[in-house]
Chains A and B, each alone.
Chain A
Amino acid sequence: MPATKLSKAAAHDPASRIFDLDVSSLRELNQALHNLTPGSNETAWEVLHPKGSHSVAVGVDQPVSIDVRGSVGYYCGGMNSGSTITVHGSAGPGVGENMMSGSIIVKGDASQYAGATGKGGLLVIEGNASSRCGISMKGIDIVVHGNIGHMSAFMAQSGNLVVLGDAGDALGDSIYEARLFVRGKVDSLGADCIAKEMRPEHLELLQGLLDRAGVTGVKPSEFKRYGSARTLYNFNIDNADAY
């Protein structure tokens, strides 16, 4: 194990591992996480002084919890498969990209492409997300407490995007089957994205997502639902001006 300094709490918990990126390298951190085997009792991890490092805790494939104390750069938690990662700061571009399962919670803001192509799991951004949030999402659930930028959910295929604040231009452009729930205003909808009726099953789904994301004091009925009009699912020359 590389040189690390144990916090007081961790010193009493044999299951906790602390990596101080001022002392250890990113490679050492990720290799240690990848070396985890099923049933490992090293279930609680802490990363100190990330200072905007890229690729923190990427490719984790075990159900451990990882607390990152500070802000991260690109692709934090990329391809996460089963772990719970909490970023106690803000996240750079591509947080949780292609996540398979598990969850990522960003206490601050997230930059572009949050949750891009995510296949599963839950991504919670307690601040705002930038453009292209949920781009090409493929089953992931994303809950953003604040606002999201333009071109979010572009070509989104599956999963749910919940936004408690506002959405920028071209929301859901060329969307497939993903569901978008926005509580605030939407600057504009992209090609083939329309507002849809909020039926009881959607209210129930949304309540479940809000509960999982730790959102309280907000009712599902305050949201509007958006999704695909499905008019561009098969190419037709008469729709060419929609592109």
Chain B
Amino acid sequence: MTYKNPPTTPRKSATFDDYTLSEIRRAAATGIYDIRGGGAKRKLPHFDDLLFLGASISRYPLEGYRERCDTSVVLGSRHAKKPIELKIPITIAGMSFGSLSGPAKEALGRGATLAGTSTTTGDGGMTEEERGHSKQLVYQYLPSRYGMNLRDLRRADAIEVVVGQGAKPGGGGMLLGQKISDRVAEMRTLPKGIDQRSASRHPDWTGPDDLEIKILELREITDWEKPIYVKVGGARPYYDTALAVKAGADVVVVDGMQGGTAATQEVFIENVGQPTLACIRPAVQALQDLGMHRKVQLIVSGGIRNGADVAKALALGVDAVSIGTAALVALGDNDPRWEAEYNELGTTAGAYDDWHEGRDPAGITTQDPELMKRVDPVAAGRRLANYLKVMTLEAQTIARACGKNSLHNLEPEDLVALTIEAAAMAGVPLAGTNWIPGKNGF
């Protein structure tokens, strides 16, 4: 009788997993790193790792649907004559025309206005679609200064000096030639069809002292009416927040590494910056140390998905959150109804991120006139408004359960963490304990 060896199960490397192997093959075949849109896809400590403590005896809850829970917020009250007043503490993050289609920008404006909040321009300048349909529009002042002009600056309701972005702190942009339509080329003062490199740094200032003078210039140009935001990528949130305050910012925007981008190297998106959750407490601490918490408002973005995320960010000391990726999904990005076309592009609904190629079946991240017809700005705007209202209701529900008559009364005491990592990053106790890892320092 011959003895047969038992069959073994083939074992793939955890280090060289299928995705990694495919990336090595792709790099070898094409000679270029992977460029994609969106934010970090790897699993990171996030708001899901926090839980709220509802009220019982030690806290007294408010009646759902009956007792008022305020959601409004004022941004830019430090210096600006005309601060931004929003009905909800959820804003639409900057996304460029060029990366997004005109109808998509219009839909963002319509949806945000219906919900009582602001939209933000992006690297491509201000479009009539967005200005015309946004009651409150934040105009981004970016290193590239594409389309930057005096009159648009004055037509804005606030100005956001973009120093960094969560998906790529320290990185510039690259809009590949295939997305450069005549209109995009004209707005950016560049020939059609060539790659458009957005600089990683502002051309006319080099540090926080210069930034202070630059902000003074922007205030002088706009007669001190507009709030000046300063947006930084979530890399060194304590120091960057402190320096933004020192430079005179009315509002500081911190964008964590789950924050999206139009097109950047995959290796950059996944390996540079800090998770959004890890950015909040240091940023809040910087404001508190300077005596500026609630005087200079803090907006945090990067992977915000629902009302619980909103409530958790606010409980940690944030004044408002900003959404980008989630807003695009609300408009119809990555919708399964285009699954057959996603398959043709070698991907699937929910994973499509080659926005720079300009072939977005949903018509959102494209300049193809036929594809962009698929976005109905009215209907898509309505969906975005619905989504924003649902998020707000969700956050209110949680806040009432915690006994708060304003979303801004949520506090770290209302939270516990499920993991040691999240407890350390958020500065709240591990569930079932009173232990906050690293309480005495970052």
- Inside 8 A of B176's CB, which chain A residues have their CB? 234-235
Interface core residue of B197, B222, B224 (most chain A CB under 10 Å): B197
Flag A78-122 by CB within 8 Å of B: 1 or 0 each: 110100000000000110011010000000000011001101000
- Inside 8 A of B154's CB, which chain A residues have their CB? 59
A32 to B145: give the CA distance in the assembly, Å. Answer: 27
A116 to B145: give the CA distance in the assembly, Å. Answer: 10
Q: Chain A nearest CB: distance from B183 CB in Å?
A: 16
A59-B222 contact given A174-B197, A233-B195, A237-B31, CB 8 Å threshold: yes
A94 to B191: give the CA distance in the assembly, Å. Answer: 26
Q: Answer yes or no: B17 CB below 8 A from chain A CBs.
A: no
Q: Chain A nearest CB: distance from B225 CB in Å?
A: 11
A42 to B193: give the CA distance in the assembly, Å. Answer: 46
Binding stretch for chain B, among A133-141, A194-202, A213-221 = A133-141
- Inside 8 A of A135's CB, which chain B residues have their CB? 203-204
Query: Which of B189, B190, B199, B204 makes the CB contact (< 8 A) with A97?
Result: B204
Interface residues in B, total, Cβ within 8 A = 36
Flag B166-195 by CB within 8 Å of A: 1 or 0 each: 000000001011000000000011110111
Query: Which of B193, B217, B221, B222 makes the CB contact (< 8 A) with A54?
Result: B217
**Is the Cβ of B150 less than 8 Å from the Cβ of A81?**
yes
Flag A206-243 by CB within 8 Å of B: 1 or 0 each: 00000000000000000000000000011101100000
Q: Chain B nearest CB: distance from A174 CB in Å?
A: 7
Q: Answer yes or no: B153 CB below 8 A from chain A CBs.
A: yes
Q: Answer yes or no: A128 CB below 8 A from chain B CBs.
A: no
A237-B32 contact given A79-B150, A113-B204, CB 8 Å threshold: yes
A135 to B144: give the CA distance in the assembly, Å. Answer: 11
A27 to B225: give the CA distance in the assembly, Å. Answer: 12
A100 to B151: give the CA distance in the assembly, Å. Answer: 10
A235 to B174: give the CA distance in the assembly, Å. Answer: 10
Q: Chain B nearest CB: distance from A37 CB in Å?
A: 14
Q: Answer yes or no: B63 CB below 8 A from chain A CBs.
A: no
- Inside 8 A of A27's CB, which chain B residues have their CB? 220, 224
A235 to B195: give the CA distance in the assembly, Å. Answer: 7
A100 to B153: give the CA distance in the assembly, Å. Answer: 13
A155 to B198: give the CA distance in the assembly, Å. Answer: 9
A116-B204 contact given A54-B216, A237-B32, CB 8 Å threshold: yes
In the complex, which residue of chain B has the Cβ closest to the Cβ of A233?
A: B194
Q: Answer yes or no: B223 CB below 8 A from chain A CBs.
A: yes
- Inside 8 A of B199's CB, which chain A residues have their CB? 136, 155
List residues of A (12-38) whose CB comes within 8 Å of B's CBs: 26-27, 30-31, 34
Q: Answer yes or no: A160 CB below 8 A from chain B CBs.
A: no
Q: Answer yes or no: A45 CB below 8 A from chain B CBs.
A: no
List residues of A (43-64) whose CB comes within 8 Å of B's CBs: 54-55, 58-59, 61
Q: Answer yes or no: B149 CB below 8 A from chain A CBs.
A: yes
**Is the Cβ of B190 less than 8 Å from the Cβ of A79?**
no
Q: Mind listing 9 A-B residue pairs with CB under 8 Å? A: A27-B220, A74-B213, A81-B149, A98-B145, A100-B149, A136-B144, A136-B199, A155-B203, A174-B197
Q: Which 6 A-B pairs have the closest CB atoms?
A: A59-B221, A237-B31, A233-B194, A113-B204, A117-B145, A116-B204
Which A residues fall within an 8 A CB radius of B?
26-27, 30-31, 34, 54-55, 58-59, 61, 73-75, 78-79, 81, 93-94, 97-98, 100, 112-113, 116-117, 119, 132, 135-136, 138-139, 154-155, 157-158, 174, 176-177, 233-235, 237-238
Given A98-B148, A237-B31, 9 further pairs, Cβ under 8 A = A59-B221, A61-B151, A93-B205, A98-B145, A100-B149, A119-B148, A132-B203, A233-B177, A235-B32
